[in-house]
Amino acid sequence: MAISKQRKQELVAAYRELMERHPSLILASFAGMSVKNLEHLRRRIRESGGELHVVQNRLMALALGEWAQRLPEAAWDGTTVVGFAGEDVLGVAKAMVEVGRQADTLKVKAALLDGVVYDGRQVERLADLPPQPVLRAQLLGVLQAPAGQIARALAGSVRQLMNVMKAYSESQAASG
Q: Given this model, what pLDDT does residue 126 score?
A: 87
Query: Same domain for 93 and 14?
Result: yes
**Coil vs helix vs strand at 52:** strand
Query: Same domain for 31 and 111?
Result: yes
**Coil vs helix vs strand at 16:** helix
Query: Same domain for 114 and 171?
Result: no
d(CA 9, CA 119): 28
Q: What is the CATH number of the domain that holds 72?
A: 3.30.70.1730
112 φ/ψ angles, rounded to the nearest 5 degrees: -125, 100
74 is in which domain, residue-wise? 5-129
Query: Same domain for 10 and 88?
Result: yes
Query: Same domain for 97 and 157?
Result: no
Cα 157 to Cα 26, 51, 79, 162: the distances in Å are: 55, 58, 67, 9
What is the tally of structural domains in the chain? 2
Per-residue confidence at 172, pLDDT binned at 50, 70, 90?
A: confident
Query: Same domain for 15 and 94?
Result: yes
In this structure, the chain runs to a length of: 176
Determine if the pTM surpasses 0.75: no
Query: Same domain for 57 and 11?
Result: yes
Report pLDDT digits (tens) over 31-53: 888 888 899 999 999 998 899 99
Alpha helices, DSSP H, located in 49-131: 57-66, 89-103, 120-127
Query: Same domain for 59 and 135?
Result: no
The answer for residues whose C-beta is within 8 angstroms of residue 59's C-beta and 6 or more apart is: 8, 11, 12, 15
Query: Same domain for 31 and 72?
Result: yes
